[in-house]
Structure 1
Amino acid sequence: MREAPHSNTRTSRRTLLRASASAVALAGAGALSAGCQSMPSATGGTFDPGPPADTGITHTERVYSRARGQDVNLVTILPKEQPPAGLPVSLLLHGRGGSAEEVTWHGWGGQLRDAVAEGKTRPFAFVSVDGGDNYWHEYPDGDDALGMLLDEIPRWLRERGLGGGDGQPWAATGVSMGGFGSLVYARRRRERGNSPGALAVVSPALFTEWSELRSRDAFTDEAQWAAIDPLRNPGAHGDVPLGVWCGTEDDRFIEGTRQFIAKADPTHADLRPGPHGPDFFQSVVGDVLGFLTDYVPKPG
């Protein structure tokens, strides 16, 4: 068993605590250049994400999402400039108030590139897409971010030579609201008989009470939220290998994360000092990559 010395989470029989951790056709894609701006935080205020971390080999393009009824940014983070055809892909889902570009500022691209070059991580790519602020589920106003992930992402990946023959993402990774969304996505994939191969959630937006979420206007009512919420449906993602990271000073989500860990018994759980925000998110990227590499399939 690998233990993180800073972690104070309860260790269950399945919980592992880790100490640290054909060219792609990108028609119309350009190198990502992201400016700095204040973003809404999960706790209702704002946080300054600061200068973007090393974004690595990152490309962005605009695509039209029928599920969302609008153009969205599709951001691809590659491990090297000329990856093999069929490179495995993990979704990378952003948090509330974020975007496909903003989530790349946490250093995923630079650390992925370096880890692959150093032989620490098997090659794979991340793909991020604008999902709005509705917690990555089927919102009744016609903006269906989850439908985009399930039905449009595979086609977009196939068109770019990514994700194998069917274009399905092999994994889902999410930050804050994106962690909530990754768990919901895995549940829907399981219900379709096509579960992903791994999940990694960082500071997942798991609320313990409906009153904390009501004002966000992301669910029609408490019943809809309760039916979707991973904390109230902790086994819905199935037996997919799952890693969970959260800061112990994350005042909004640490309690929900602790409850989820106790109920879901994830493969890997790491609770370490830190608040909810970009500094903490960046601090765990290497560990997330180390977790995911154990489950990366071979291309082809």
Structure 2
Amino acid sequence: MPHREPMGRAMSRRFVLTSGVAGLGALGLGLSTDTGIPVNQAMPLGGNVSVEQIRSRSRGRRVDMVVMHPRGIDPEGLPVCLMLHGRHGDALDLVAGMPTWLSESFERGIVPPFTVLAVDGGRTSYWHDDPMTMLLEEVPGWLAERGLGGPGGRIAAVSGISMGGFGALLYARRRRELGDPVSAAGVISPALFTSWKAMRTRNAFRNEAEWASLDPLRHVDALGDLPLGVWCGNADRFIKGTRRFIQRARPDVASTTPGRHNRAYFRKAMPELVDFIGPHLA
């Protein structure tokens, strides 16, 4: 992958694509699956997608921050929906399709304009520990410095795929615990295991007690009355845990239509997620 340099603050604080990332569309970026094998889908980067590399103090490394918004709309001041990538993925995976879905839903009057933000959280992190600290403590400052998310760089909603679905539910819980709940959350094929025996194979948690303290299935009440959308294919490997979560959480949208844990299902569900999240950000 070509080297990416940080973007400057020129052009009225609007994001621009650097020469280092301009060719990434040709690499066939796509939505990762929980198998660890990236599923590629060609996606040229356009004027409504920007990539910046930022040093994360919490993670001790540079991370990609990807900003997507409806075409023809200045992202400055728009509400922000954080979207968390899946296992063995990264922020750039979410470029495939999302800018188009945002634009089409806005142009059809289904959603108000809003920004989708993706950052690198680690390939197997489940978005706890250092990645969660980055999201809660660092990302708002990054947004505020760039005029995104309104005063304080506030993230208004959260979403995620697979491992990112686990992380999104955990993030929503943490925000409520901090007294600043998000306006909505949407998860696609969330990686909700129903046993420690299955979860421990991911090597993401130190022990069963740590996992149990974070597992969204065990802390549904911590979400309160959060507007929530859940999508999962009925042949997905996580359908058992997702159905259990739906039964306990009673989300506003609970879709378990035909599909597996793969690109085809993710791409079918993501436009529906955009349409669900948007009205809660008006």
Same fold (TM over 0.5): yes
**Distance change in 2, residues 1:31/1:91 (3 Å):** farther
Q: For 1:123, which of 113, 133, 152 is the aligned residue? A: 113
Could you say what secondary structure the match of 2:91 adopts?
A: coil
Q: Partners of 1:161 and 1:110 in 2: how far apart?
A: 23
- Report the more deviating stretch, 234-243 or 217-226: 234-243
Contact 1:24 1:162 in 2 (8 A): no
Normalization by structure 1: what TM-score? Answer: 0.83
**Unmatched 5+ stretches in structure 1:** 1-21, 139-143
Instruction: Indicate the RMSD between aligned Cα atoms, in angstroms.
Output: 2.1
Q: Partners of 1:39 and 1:113 in 2: how far apart?
A: 19
Q: For 1:257, which of 236, 239, 242 is the aligned residue? A: 242
Q: Which residue of 2 aligns with 1:36?
A: 28
Between the two structures, name the one with larger relative contact order (CA 8 Å, sep ≥ 6). Answer: 1
Contact 2:55 2:61 in 1 (8 A): yes
Could you say what secondary structure the match of 2:247 adopts?
A: helix
**Structure 2 counterparts to residues 146-165 of structure 1, below 5 A:** 146-165=132-151
Q: Which residue of 2 aligns with 1:109?
A: 99
Superposition deviation, residue 276 in structure 1 = 0.2
Could you say what secondary structure the match of 1:207 adopts?
A: coil
**Structure 2 counterparts to residues 1-300 of structure 1, below 5 A:** 24-26=13-15, 29=18, 31=22, 33-34=24-25, 35-36=27-28, 41-42=33-34, 45-52=35-42, 57-83=48-74, 85-105=76-96, 107-132=97-122, 133-138=124-129, 144-250=130-236, 252-297=237-282
Q: Partners of 1:293 and 1:82 in 2: how far apart?
A: 15
Contact 1:246 1:257 in 2 (8 A): yes
Superposition deviation, residue 97 in structure 1 = 0.2
Normalization by structure 2: what TM-score? Answer: 0.88
**Distance change in 2, residues 1:32/1:86 (3 Å):** farther
Superposition deviation, residue 81 in structure 1 = 4.0
Contact 2:14 2:76 in 1 (8 A): no
**Unmatched 5+ stretches in structure 2:** 1-10
Contact 2:126 2:166 in 1 (8 A): yes
Q: Which residue of 1 aligns with 2:7?
A: none
Could you say what secondary structure the match of 1:173 adopts?
A: strand
**Distance change in 2, residues 1:39/1:266 (3 Å):** closer
> Which string of whole-angstrom CA distances, capped at 9 and with x for unpartnered residues, describes residues 176-216 of structure 1?
00000000001111111000000000000000011111122
**Distance change in 2, residues 1:198/1:68 (3 Å):** same
Question: What's the % identity of the aligned pairs?
Answer: 43
Q: Partners of 2:185 and 2:32 in 1: how far apart?
A: 25
**Distance change in 2, residues 1:137/1:32 (3 Å):** farther
Q: Partners of 1:93 and 1:192 in 2: how far apart?
A: 20
Could you say what secondary structure the match of 2:218 adopts?
A: coil
Q: Letter of the aligned partner of 1:130 in structure 2?
A: D
**Higher share of residues assigned helix:** 2
Contact 1:32 1:59 in 2 (8 A): no
Contact 2:164 2:190 in 1 (8 A): yes
Q: Partners of 1:23 and 1:282 in 2: how far apart?
A: 33
**Distance change in 2, residues 1:284/1:55 (3 Å):** farther
